[in-house]
Amino acid sequence: MTEHPFVRLALLESFEVSFAEEVLRISVPAQRLLAQLAVVQRGRPVERTTLAERLWPETPPPRAAASLRSVLWRLPRPRGRTLVTCTTTTVRLSEDVRVDLWDAEERARRLCGSDLPTPDALADLTPLTRDLLPGWHEDWIQVEQETFRQTRLHALERSAWGLRAQGHFSDALCAGLGAVRGEPLRESAHRSVIEVHLAEGNHAEALRQYHGYRRLLADELGLPPSPAIRRLMAPLLGRPVDLPTRGNHHPQSPLTATTIRSGDA
């Protein structure tokens, strides 16, 4: 007997439910319900009254409960598969449903939790370049959106490091640039890109990335780059970095003895 495929719930970049490569039609209230069960509850059951209050916070409880019953009744059941499991008091996401957000978070945990990411963990980083339901602005999801954004950016930076260490410079560059696109003002993301260029010996590309970030930081926040990224770029900039403070008697490194060129600050 052939096993039926799982129902797929996509929450990254946009909302979509599919089964056997067929996209299911889901009403807007049902989308909010499924997102709550996947993002907030993580598959755990939730009391019906609690869920109804979350979905219809400005509606009287009896009417909110009735709206919840209506949404649950109208959910599609592809080939007899259910999207949610209900009891008289609770609702939860069905075990037949696979959620792309959960898969991406597991991938990120594997990347960030190992000394050197394995090739399997580094394969197909596309889910880590996507935000969680970016067009949704409800209060309940904003914290979840930021949490996942930080998780995926850390994972992309870790991937760039792991791929660079293994000599896969093209893929490392893609991972680093993915982190930059996710947050253009994130210095650690720019450092990951610069480190790949330096490892390849592409000094002009490293300088271009650095100066682009320096200008963006100045324009947006009125700040200079940190000493950490300046140390990384010092051999190419020909400038002192972290000059000894008064009372610091440590000898200067060769880099701090170089001359500042105008316009590098």
Residue 117 is inside which H or E element, if any?
A: none
| Residues facing residue 93 across a β-bridge | 84
pLDDT in tens, 188-220: 999 999 999 999 999 999 999 999 999 999 999
Give residues with Cβ within 8 angstroms of 106, minimum separation 6: none
Q: What are the structure tokens assigned to 261, written together?
A: 């060129």
What percent of the chain is modeled with pLDDT above 70? Answer: 86
Nearest to 217 by CA among 246, 193, 192, 183: 183
Strand (E) or helix (H) holding 63: helix 61-74
Cα atoms in the Cβ-side hemisphere of radius 13 Å centred on 161: 15
Give the residue from 68, 71, 46 showing the smallest Cα distance to 57. 68
**Model confidence at 261, in pLDDT bands (50, 70, 90)?**
very low
Could you give all domains of the chain from N- to C-terminal order, each with its CATH number? 7-95 (1.10.10.10), 115-225 (1.25.40)
Q: Is the pLDDT of residue 264 over 90?
A: no
Which residues, including other chains, have CB under 8 Å from residue 163's CB and lie 6 or more apart? 117, 122, 169, 171, 172, 175
C-alpha to C-alpha distance for 148 and 130, rounded to whole angstroms:
10
As a whole number of angstroms, the distance between CA 34 and CA 144 comes to 15
Beta-bridge partner residues of 92 = 85
DSSP 130-148: S-BSTT---HHHHHHHHHH
Q: Which residues contact 155 (CB under 8 A, 6 or more apart)?
A: 107, 108, 111, 112, 125, 128
pLDDT tens profile 151-187: 999 999 999 999 999 899 999 999 999 999 999 999 9
Q: What is the mean pLDDT of the chain?
A: 88
Helix (H) or strand (E) run with residue 93 in it: strand 90-93
Question: Is the distance from CB of 19 to CB of 81 less than 8 angstroms?
Answer: yes
* Alpha-carbon gap, residue 171 to 103, rounded angstroms: 21
Give yes or no for residue 247 having a pLDDT over 80: no
pTM: 0.81
